[in-house]
Amino acid sequence: MSTPVNDDDLDTTVAKSEILKRIRSLQSRPASLHNNEMTLAKGYVDRHNRGPAPKPVENVVTLFEEKSKAMLCTVQRIKTEQAAAQACADYLAEHQLEGTVAIWPALKHMDWTVLTHESRVGAPTGDDLIGISAVAYAVAETGTLVFASQPDQPASTHLLPETHIAIVREDQVVHTMEDAFERLRKDGRAMPRALNFVSGPSRTADIEQTIVLGAHGPYRVHLILVGK
**Statement to judge: residues 27 and 73 lie in one domain:** no
In tens, the pLDDT along 109-150 reads: 999 999 999 999 999 988 999 999 999 999 999 999 999 988
User: What is the domain range of residue 103?
Assistant: 60-226
Tell whether the model's pLDDT for residue 217 goes beyond 90. Answer: no
Whole-structure pTM over 0.85, yes or no? no
Domain assignment present for residue 161? The answer is yes
Same domain flag for 18 and 129: no
Within-domain flag for 108: yes
Q: What 8-state DSSP symbol labels residue 76?
A: E
> Can you tell me the mean pLDDT for 198-219?
78
How many domains in the chain?
2
**Over the stretch 183-195, which tens digit does the pLDDT of each residue have?**
998 887 777 888 9
Is residue 107 within 8 Å of residue 132, measured between CB atoms? yes
Residue 21 pLDDT exceeds 80: yes
Q: Clarify whether residues 193 and 95 are in a common domain.
A: yes
| 223, 166 contact by CB (below 8 A) | yes
pLDDT, tens digit, 9 for 90 and up, residues 48-94: 777 788 888 999 999 999 999 999 999 999 999 999 999 999 999 99
Exposure class string for 67-80: b at 16+ Cβ within 10 A, else e: bbeebbbebbeeee
